[in-house]
Amino acid sequence: MNFTDLTIKSASELIAKKEVSAKELAEMSLERIKEVDDKVHAFLYVAEKEAMEQADEVDRMIIADNENFALTGIPYSVKDCILVKGMKATAASKILENYVAPYDATVIEKLKKVSPVMMGKTNLDEFAMGASTLYSAYGPTKNPYDLSRVPGGSSGGSAASVASGEVIFSIGSDTFGSIRQPASFCGVVGMKPTYGRVSRFGLIAMCSSMDQIGVFTRTVEDAALALQMIVGQDVKDSTSLPKLVPDYSAALSEDLKGMKIGIPKEFFVEGIDPEVRAIVENAIKQVEALGAEVSEVSLPNVPYSVPAYYIIAPVEISANLSRYDGIRYGLSVPGKTLEEVYYNSRSQGLGAEVKRRIMIGTYASSAGYYDAYYKKAKQIESLVQQDFKSAFDKFDLLLTPVSPKPAFKIDEKKDPVSMYLEDVFTGPINLAGVPAMSVPGGLTKSGLPVGVQLIANHFAEEKLFQAGHALEKSLNLKLKPNL
Ligand code: GLN
């Protein structure tokens, strides 16, 4: 058995047949982390001791109760902006360098009920603001397929930890692309559920009107198994909704007969890399061959999504991050007055991109400017939502690229706007609040993974699993980095 080839499905079958124990899986995961994480730097914290203790307990439980769920004993990682009780949660910021989570996020609480084994906390752009993991205060994560390139972001550590075979799945967050773009860059499956499908209680807030938790896995089948365990309404998050949760695994099929798939023309504009375009066009051919009815659709307001988001998000960020004041949480730098404590703590504790957003957000929401910026941006958001609504009156799914280009070089992007443009194809989905998934579509000639994005209507995640699984099977890629 090769640990780096295991999926949730295959590892869980081995556990059920008693061919491997949770302890052995955790040991294999740790060994792999020791072997490659110096190079990849997916982890901010490796929970070696906790994982071994937990794995022992899981093995005892399996023997005692004969209880074995799909995720039981499976090694996984968690993005460091999600709280795990008793463990540090830095959100890759200096201001939370010594912050220890006093409680579990709801997703972690839910996972603990089925006992996967938590191997550690993964790297991200500071407070999940970014698209490269370069904005982590603790050094960048590298792309496992090419160490001179970024893994994407902000959940770059989560994507890289699954791609490099350190863990079998990971939990991340996606506000404007942060699960799907790194999944695409790292050749893994990345699933962002509907806004309201998964509780964000215990997720360090960035842009609350769009933040959503989701999963990274090696296969679509695994994404169905992992997502199943974290969904559902939660009284601790008033935006989570009491919608019936279908059996996602039952939706997996290899046939797309009668499914209507729209190809939004605004996602195939000039500037998209020819290899990315070819990989996505190949995916379109595949879904057609599987029986889907494919036709073009227009989402005319989608091109305004990035400018709208970079007003809405900073406004919410400036409010959400006001809690890091040097008094209540984290780093506190002394000063002669209270104001100086605020000033010193925030100056030293926060990185440049975070400060930029706080300033833009404060400006855009201040009296006299609110109507011109924030209100306009929210109007654009409504128009984008309308576009998706009309598209889903006609289509079951939309299919697009995830990102205009494959993973970029670590020192390639010099200005914030070129980083913001990374979100051009993923972000509109968050404005609409609908679910989407990145499925590996192929490799470029130089060996970089490229994902294909599938988008469904609100709470229609099962259609993503259906089409994603069928596409994955027909492409039959066996992606694996050379590490
Ligand atoms: N790239 C986007 C940003 O910088 C999205 C981040 C995210 O989804 N967390 O805000």
Find the CATH number of the domain harbouring 144.
3.90.1300.10
Span 276-311, pLDDT tens digits: 999 999 999 999 999 999 999 999 999 999 999 999
Look at residue 154 and tell me if it is in a domain.
yes
Instruction: Give the span between the Cα atoms of 122 and 81, in whole angstroms.
Output: 9
Instruction: Give the span between the Cα atoms of 80 and 89, in whole angstroms.
Output: 5
- The CB of 135 under 6 Å from ligand 1? The reply is no
Of ligand 1's atoms, which has the minimum distance to the CA of residue 422? 1
Instruction: Tell me, in angstroms, the distance from the centre of ligand 1 to residue 355's CA.
Output: 15
Atom 5 (ligand 1) nearest CA: 176
Please tell me the total count of domains within the chain: 1
* Contact yes or no for 157/140 (Cβ under 8 A): no
- The CB of 129 under 6 Å from ligand 1? The reply is yes
- The CB of 313 under 6 Å from ligand 1? The reply is yes
Residue that has been written with the tokens 């009156």 in this structure? 393
Domain range holding 36?
Answer: 3-251+433-475
Instruction: Give the span between the Cα atoms of 122 and 43, in whole angstroms.
Output: 4
Q: Which is catalytic among the residues 23, 79, 142, 463? A: 79
Look at residue 386 and tell me if it is in a domain.
no
Give yes or no: 79 in active site: yes
Look at residue 48 and tell me if it is in a domain.
yes
Span 312-370, pLDDT tens digits: 999 999 999 999 999 998 999 999 999 999 999 999 999 999 999 999 999 999 989 99
Instruction: Tell me, in angstroms, the distance from the centre of ligand 1 to residue 226's CA.
Output: 23
Instruction: Give the span between the Cα atoms of 172 and 153, in whole angstroms.
Output: 10
Structure tokens at 57: 């307990």
- The CB of 459 under 6 Å from ligand 1? The reply is no
Instruction: Give the span between the Cα atoms of 425 and 453, in whole angstroms.
Output: 9
* Contact yes or no for 76/118 (Cβ under 8 A): yes
Look at residue 61 and tell me if it is in a domain.
yes
**Percent of the chain predicted with pLDDT > 70:** 99
Give yes or no: 154 in active site: yes
- The CB of 126 under 6 Å from ligand 1? The reply is no
- The CB of 183 under 6 Å from ligand 1? The reply is no
pLDDT at 253: 85
Span 388-419, pLDDT tens digits: 999 999 999 999 999 999 999 999 998 999 99
**3-state SS record for the chain:** CCHHHCCHHHHHHHHHCCCCCHHHHHHHHHHHHHHHHHHHCCEEEECHHHHHHHHHHHHHHHHHHCCCCCCCCCEEEEECCECCCCCECCCCCHHHCCCECCCCCHHHHHHHHHCCEEEEEECCCHHHCCCCCCCCCCCCCCECCECCECCCCCCHHHHHHHHCCCCCEEEEECCCCCCHHHHHHHCCEEEECCCCCECCCCECCCCCCCCCEEEEECCHHHHHHHHHCCECCECCECCCCCCCCCCHHHHCCCCCCCCEEEEEHHHCCCCCCHHHHHHHHHHHHHHHHCCCEEEEECCCCHHHHHHHHHHHHHHHHHHHHHHCCCCCCCCCCCCCCHHHHHHHHHHHHCCHHHHHHHHHHHHHCCCCCCHHHHHHHHHHHHHHHHHHHHHHHHCCEEEEECCCCCCCECCCCCCHHHHHHHHCCCHHHHHHCCCEEEEEEEECCCCCEEEEEEEECCCCHHHHHHHHHHHHHHHCCCCCCCC
- The CB of 481 under 6 Å from ligand 1? The reply is no
Look at residue 402 and tell me if it is in a domain.
no
Cis ω on the peptide bond leading into residue 158 (within 30° of 0)?
Answer: no
Of ligand 1's atoms, which has the minimum distance to the CA of residue 124? 9
Atom 10 (ligand 1) nearest CA: 129
Pocket test for ligand 1, best of 80, 129, 155, 421 (most atoms within 8 A of CB): 129
Other C-beta atoms closer than 10 Å to the C-beta of 52 total 16
Instruction: Tell me, in angstroms, the distance from the centre of ligand 1 to residue 131's CA.
Output: 6
Look at residue 278 and tell me if it is in a domain.
no
- Long-range contacts made by residues 356-362, C-beta under 8 angstroms, separation at least 24? 356/416, 357/129, 357/313, 357/314, 357/317, 357/318, 358/314, 358/317, 358/318, 358/321, 359/314, 359/318, 360/310, 360/311, 360/314, 360/318, 361/313, 361/314, 361/315, 361/316, 361/317, 361/318, 361/319, 362/318
Any idea how long the chain is?
A: 483
Other C-beta atoms closer than 10 Å to the C-beta of 186 total 35
pLDDT at 367: 87
pLDDT at 67: 67
Instruction: Tell me, in angstroms, the distance from the centre of ligand 1 to residue 293's CA.
Output: 33
Instruction: Tell me, in angstroms, the distance from the centre of ligand 1 to residue 33's CA.
Output: 26
Look at residue 147 and tell me if it is in a domain.
yes
Give yes or no: 249 in active site: no
Those residues of the chain that have pLDDT short of 70 are: 66-67
- The CB of 178 under 6 Å from ligand 1? The reply is yes
Pocket test for ligand 1, best of 175, 212, 413, 429 (most atoms within 8 A of CB): 175
Pocket test for ligand 1, best of 79, 80, 93, 125 (most atoms within 8 A of CB): 125
Structure tokens at 210: 């769009």
The pLDDT mean for the chain works out to 96
Instruction: Give the span between the Cα atoms of 364 and 337, in whole angstroms.
Output: 28
- The CB of 131 under 6 Å from ligand 1? The reply is yes
Buried b (16+ CB within 10 A) or exposed e, 438-468: bbbbbbbeeebbbbbbbbbbbbbbbbbbbbb
Look at residue 403 and tell me if it is in a domain.
no
Instruction: Tell me, in angstroms, the distance from the centre of ligand 1 to residue 313's CA.
Output: 9
